Amino acid sequence: MHKIAFLHATLIAVAAFSLPILTSCSALTPEEPENPKWLTYRGGDGPGHGKHIVLIAADQEYRSEESMPMLARILSAQHGYDCTVLFSVNKEGLVDPTMKIRYDDKAVLHDIPGIEMLDHADLMILFSRLITLPAAQIKHVVDYVDSGKPILAIRTANHGFLDSFPYQLDGKNVRFGEDVLGGSFLSHHGDWHADSTRGVIVEAQRGHPILTGVNDIWGPSDVYRTYPVGKSLPADCTALVYGQPLLGRNHDGKPNPEKEPLPVAWTKTWTGSTGKPARVFHLTMGSSYDFKCKDLRRLTINGAYWCLSLEDQIRATSNVDYLGPYAPLDCGFDYAALGVIPRTVASYR
């Protein structure tokens, strides 16, 4: 019999925030109030009308707290999706990318108010890194992953949860990165914060809907290795884009002759205990600066359409331009030098 196992008893005792219960309808309703603990973007006209996407920003390095609202604004206003952006917050309720992880402080527990919205979401877009959630919150993630609903995972999401992911199938632990997404971070294949990445489209997949209108992918983040040297992506993954490490951090940099290209975007199917196959799109690029690349934004937004089985609505000319300014802080952990401080949720609107 399929089983779902949750965090051991010490974490079960941790109290979760008391949050409003959502309606059973996946789309946001006009009567649903705004909440200062997250950002709500109601969809306009577009192919995504009636679909609700929950975007989770919970990393400490790549400024997902800036890129996820940017993507949500585009998805809602220009494509019709209802979008909710959830954040990892500190004890004061501030969005806090500077929070430690359990490698540094064994007492750390992260908090994502509103995570129960996953229960009625149509798509989860996840950008987390090594977080540890209370049992009551991680349960919503596990239930979503088990539900057969689609997942779009960005960069550090393949090592998005520290400690074991509390989910089992047939008595075996499910590894979120390796099993659900098709690969977890093993190392920086490119030189960390030194190389950049040229996206190379797999010619055999040029006709894939996710690649519609996508031609020029570049970003200043480095390539991740997600499988051992001499191996390859799992057989159930379909690589769409390889990442060629470049020398330096310029768009026209030369390929690093010592670094082979590795997959940076792929699709797969994940099936949990419900027996319902879920579409999965994993992108290992996606720093805040990477998303300045229009074609990377298009790739990601196309991925959302595909995840939701709306690939027949993808257009090469669809609008993926920013709504308002997008000038994210640089990536890294030197928070004082970068100007990264805890901020209110509202400041990211």
The whole-model pTM stands at 0.91
Q: Give how far the C-alpha of residue 316 lies from the chain's centroid of Cα atoms, to the nearest Å.
A: 23
Q: Is residue 196 part of a domain?
A: no
Quote the tokens at residue 13: 């005792």
CB atoms within 10 A of CB 295: 17
Of the candidates 170, 217, 220, 183, which has an alpha carbon nearest to the alpha carbon of residue 328? Answer: 220
pLDDT in single tens digits along all 349 residues of the chain: 443 433 333 333 333 333 333 333 467 765 566 799 999 999 989 999 999 999 999 999 999 999 999 999 999 999 999 999 999 999 999 999 999 999 999 999 999 999 999 999 999 999 999 999 999 999 999 999 999 999 999 999 999 999 889 999 999 999 999 999 999 999 999 888 888 999 999 999 999 999 999 999 999 999 999 999 999 999 999 999 999 999 999 999 999 999 999 999 999 999 999 999 999 999 999 999 999 999 999 999 999 999 999 999 999 999 999 999 999 999 999 999 999 999 999 999 9
- Per the structure, the count of domains in the chain is 1
Q: Is residue 222 part of a domain?
A: no
Q: Is residue 125 part of a domain?
A: yes
Q: Is residue 198 part of a domain?
A: no
Q: Is residue 325 part of a domain?
A: yes
Q: Is residue 158 part of a domain?
A: yes
Q: Is residue 255 part of a domain?
A: no
Range of the domain at 166: 9-187+262-348
CA distances in angstroms from 242 to 141, 201, 219, 318, listed in the order given? 29, 6, 13, 24
Q: Is residue 197 part of a domain?
A: no
Let me know how long the chain is. Answer: 349
Q: Which amino acid is at 339?
A: G
Of the candidates 137, 131, 103, 181, which has an alpha carbon nearest to the alpha carbon of residue 11? Answer: 137
